[in-house]
Amino acid sequence: MTDAVTVHHAATEALSFRDHLPALQVLLPLMGAPLCFLLRKAALVSFFTVAISFACLAISLTLLGQTMGGEILIYEFGSWPRPFGIEYRVDITNSFVLVVISLVAAVVFAAGPGQARRSIPVGREYLFYSAALLCLTGLLGVTITGDVFNVFVFMEISSLSSYILIALGRERRALMAAFTYLIMGTIGATFLLIGIGLMYQMTGTLNMVDMAVRLQAVSDTRTILVAVAFVIVGISTKLAVFPLHQWLPNAYSEAPPIVSAFLAATATKVAYYLLLRFTLGLFGAALIFDQIGIDILLMPLSVLAMFVGSIAAIYQTDFKRILAYSSIAQIGYMTLGLSLATEAGVAAGLIHLFNHALMKGGLFMVAACVMWRMGSTHIDVMRGLGQRMPITMAAFVAAGLALVGVPGTAGFVSKWALVTAALENEAFFIAFLIMASSVLAVVYIWRLVEIVYFSEPETDFEVKEAPLRMLIPTWTLAGMTIWFGLFSGFSVEVAEAAAKQLFVGLAGAGA
Amino acid sequence: MTESLAPMLPLAAAMPPGMLLMLAAIPVVFLPRTISNIVMLLLPIIGLAQLLALPIGYTDTVAIFDYTLEVTRVDALSRVFGIVFHLAAFMGILYALHVKDRMQAAAALIYVGSAIAAVFAGDLITLFVWWELTALSSVFLIWASRTESALRAGQRYLIIQVTSGLLLLLGAILLHAESGSIVFEHIGLESAGGWFVFMAFGIKACFPLLHGWMKDSYPEATITGTVFLSGFTTKLAIYALARGFAGTEILIPIGATMTAFPIFFAVIENDLRRVLAYSLNNQLGYMVVGIGIGTELALNGAVAHVFAHVIYKALLFMSMGAVLLRVGTVKGSELGGLYKSMPWTTVFCIIGAASISAFPLTSGFVTKSMILTAAADGHYLIPFLILLFASAGVFHHSGIKIPFFAFFAHDRGFRVKEAPLNMLAAMAIAAFFCIGIGVFPGILYKILPYPVEYVPYTTSHVVQMLQLLLFSALAFTFLMKTKLYPPELRSVVLDVDWVWRKLLPEAWSRVAEVWLMGQIAFLSTANKARLRVLDFTSAHLSPWSRLGEPWPTGATAMWAAMLLLAYLYLAFQNLATRPPG
For A425-448, the DSSP string reads TT-HHHHHHHHHHHHHHHHHHHHH
Cβ atoms of B299 and B224 within 8 Å: the answer is no
Supply the pLDDT for residue A314. Answer: 87
Residues on chain A touching B128 (C-beta within 8 angstroms): 407
Residues B469 and B570 in one domain: no
* Range with the largest mean pLDDT of A460-464, A468-472, B573-577: A468-472
CA angle B87, B91, B95 (to 5 degrees): 170
B3 is a domain residue: no
CA distance readout (Å), A117 to A121, A124, A174, A475: 8, 9, 15, 22
Name the residue range of residue B531's domain: 497-549
Selected for mutation to probe chain B from A244, A275, A306, A434 (highest B CB count within 10 Å) is A244
- Which residue of chain B is at minimal alpha-carbon distance from A431? B170
Supply the pLDDT for residue A119. Answer: 66
Can you spell out the DSSP letters for A352-387?
HHHHHHHHHHHHHHHHHHHHHHHS--BGGGGTTHHH
C-alpha A64/C-alpha A70 separation (Å) is 10
Supply the pLDDT for residue B479. Answer: 72
Residues on chain B touching A454 (C-beta within 8 angstroms): 151
Read off the pLDDT band of B469 (50, 70, 90).
confident
Residues B492 and B502 in one domain: no
Residues B518 and B568 in one domain: no
Supply the pLDDT for residue B501. Answer: 42
Supply the pLDDT for residue B489. Answer: 43
Read off the pLDDT band of B544 (50, 70, 90).
low
Residue-wise pLDDT for B361-398, tens only, equals 889 888 988 888 888 888 888 888 888 888 888 887 78
The average pLDDT across A315-322 equals 90
Residues B479 and B544 in one domain: no
Q: Per-residue pLDDT for A4 more than 50? A: no
Q: Is B6 on the interface with A (CB under 8 A)?
A: no
Residues on chain A touching B556 (C-beta within 8 angstroms): 184, 243-244, 246-247
B209 is a domain residue: no
Residues on chain A touching B171 (C-beta within 8 angstroms): none
Q: Is B132 on the interface with A (CB under 8 A)?
A: yes
Selected for mutation to probe chain A from B131, B549, B567 (highest A CB count within 10 Å) is B567
C-alpha A455/C-alpha A441 separation (Å) is 20
Our CA dihedral for B386, B388, B394, B400, rounded to 10 degrees, sits at -140
C-alpha B519/C-alpha A31 separation (Å) is 71
Residue-wise pLDDT for B129-143, tens only, equals 999 999 999 999 999
Cβ pair B564:A230 closer than 8 A: yes
DSSP-based three-state secondary structure for A270: helix
C-alpha A443/C-alpha A449 separation (Å) is 10
Read off the pLDDT band of B486 (50, 70, 90).
very low
Query: Phi first, then psi: what are they for B390, rounded to 5°?
Result: -65, -35
DSSP-based three-state secondary structure for A455: coil
CA distance readout (Å), A21 to A142, A291, B566: 16, 39, 42
Cβ pair A311:B151 closer than 8 A: no
Distance of residue B150 Cα from the nearest chain A Cα, in angstroms: 13
Cβ pair B560:A244 closer than 8 A: yes
Selected for mutation to probe chain B from A219, A233, A433 (highest B CB count within 10 Å) is A233
How many other C-beta atoms can be found within 10 angstroms of the C-beta atom of residue B160?
Answer: 18
Cβ atoms of B421 and B414 within 8 Å: the answer is no
C-alpha closest to that of A225 among B565, B581, B560: B565
Per the rule left: phi > 0, alpha: psi between -120 and 50, beta: everything else, A13 is beta
Q: Per-residue pLDDT for B503 more than 70? A: no
C-alpha closest to that of A106 among A155, A140, A73: A140
Residue type, A435: M
Residue-wise pLDDT for A41-68, tens only, equals 888 888 999 999 999 999 999 999 988 8
C-alpha closest to that of B497 among B391, B338, B570: B391
Q: Is B541 on the interface with A (CB under 8 A)?
A: yes
Query: Phi first, then psi: what are they for A437, rounded to 5°?
Result: -70, -25
Per the rule left: phi > 0, alpha: psi between -120 and 50, beta: everything else, B169 is alpha
Residues B579 and B563 in one domain: yes
Read off the pLDDT band of B578 (50, 70, 90).
low
Mean per-residue pLDDT over chain A, rounded: 87
Task: Please give the share of chain A, as a percent, with pLDDT higher than 90.
Answer: 44
User: Which residue would you say has higher pLDDT here, B578 or B49?
Assistant: B49
- Which residue of chain B is at minimal alpha-carbon distance from A234? B560
How many other C-beta atoms can be found within 10 angstroms of the C-beta atom of residue B519?
Answer: 11
How many other C-beta atoms can be found within 10 angstroms of the C-beta atom of residue B570?
Answer: 18
Residue where one domain finishes, among candidates B458, B478, B496: B496
C-alpha B285/C-alpha B307 separation (Å) is 15
Mean per-residue pLDDT over chain B, rounded: 83
Task: Using DSSP bridges, classify how beta strands A87-90 and B59-64 pair: parallel, antiparallel or unpaired.
Answer: unpaired
- Which residues, other chains included, contact A27 with Cβ-Cβ below 8 Å and sequence gap of 6+? none
Cβ pair A296:B570 closer than 8 A: yes
Q: Is B440 on the interface with A (CB under 8 A)?
A: no
- Nearest by CB to A225, from B177, B555, B572: name it: B572
Residues B454 and B579 in one domain: no
Q: Per-residue pLDDT for B495 more than 50? A: no
Residues B301 and B347 in one domain: yes
Interface of B with A in 174-193 (CB under 8 A): 174, 176-177
Q: Per-residue pLDDT for B303 more than 90? A: yes
C-alpha closest to that of A495 among A25, A99, A230, A4: A99
Distance of residue A80 Cα from the nearest chain B Cα, in angstroms: 37
Helix A42-67 / helix A125-144 crossing angle, nearest 10 deg: 10
Reported residue count of chain B is 581
Residues B428 and B561 in one domain: no
B501 is a domain residue: yes
Residue type, B58: Y
Residues on chain B touching A295 (C-beta within 8 angstroms): none
- Which residue of chain A is at minimal alpha-carbon distance from B534? A311
Residue type, B523: L
Residues B566 and B545 in one domain: no
Distance of residue B566 Cα from the nearest chain A Cα, in angstroms: 8
- Nearest by CB to A250, from B550, B567, B571: name it: B550
Task: Please give the share of chain B, as a percent, with pLDDT higher than 70.
Answer: 89
CA distance readout (Å), B74 to A106, B48, B57, B172, B449: 47, 13, 5, 21, 12
B189 is a domain residue: no
* Stretch among A457-461, B348-352, B513-517 having the lowest mean pLDDT: A457-461
C-alpha A90/C-alpha A209 separation (Å) is 12
- Nearest by CB to B129, from A220, A226, A407: name it: A407
Residues on chain B touching A406 (C-beta within 8 angstroms): 132
Reported residue count of chain A is 511
Cβ atoms of A25 and A140 within 8 Å: the answer is yes
- Which residues, other chains included, contact A440 with Cβ-Cβ below 8 Å and sequence gap of 6+? A307, A310, A311, A313, A314, A329
B329 is a domain residue: yes
Residue-wise pLDDT for B232-261, tens only, equals 989 999 999 999 998 888 999 999 998 988
Classify burial at B581, counting beta carbons within 10 Å of its beta carbon; exposed 0-12, middle 13-18, buried 19 or more: exposed
- Nearest by CB to B574, from A191, A292, A488: name it: A292
Residues B379 and B322 in one domain: yes
Q: Per-residue pLDDT for A335 more than 70? A: yes
C-alpha B219/C-alpha B358 separation (Å) is 24
Supply the pLDDT for residue B80. Answer: 92
Domain count across chain B: 3
Residues B471 and B544 in one domain: no
Q: Per-residue pLDDT for B551 more than 70? A: no
Residues on chain B touching A291 (C-beta within 8 angstroms): 574, 578
B406 is a domain residue: yes
Supply the pLDDT for residue A12. Answer: 53
C-alpha B192/C-alpha B204 separation (Å) is 19
Q: Is B503 on the interface with A (CB under 8 A)?
A: no
* Stretch among A116-130, B217-231, B392-406 having the lowest mean pLDDT: A116-130
C-alpha closest to that of A93 among A58, A60, A119: A60
* Stretch among B336-340, B376-380, B415-419, B542-546 having the lowest mean pLDDT: B542-546
Supply the pLDDT for residue A269. Answer: 93
Distance of residue A179 Cα from the nearest chain B Cα, in angstroms: 9
B401 is a domain residue: yes
Residue-wise pLDDT for B411-452, tens only, equals 777 788 888 899 999 999 999 999 999 999 888 888 888 888
Supply the pLDDT for residue A222. Answer: 87
CA distance readout (Å), A420 to A85, A137, A383: 43, 36, 38
Q: Per-residue pLDDT for B100 more than 90? A: no
Cβ pair B570:A311 closer than 8 A: no
User: Which residue would you say has higher pLDDT here, A79 or A318?
Assistant: A318
Query: Phi first, then psi: what are they for B86, rounded to 5°?
Result: -65, -40
Supply the pLDDT for residue A348. Answer: 94
Residues B339 and B445 in one domain: yes
CA B538 to chain centre: 39
This prediction's pTM: 0.60
Residues on chain B touching A236 (C-beta within 8 angstroms): 563
B144 is a domain residue: no
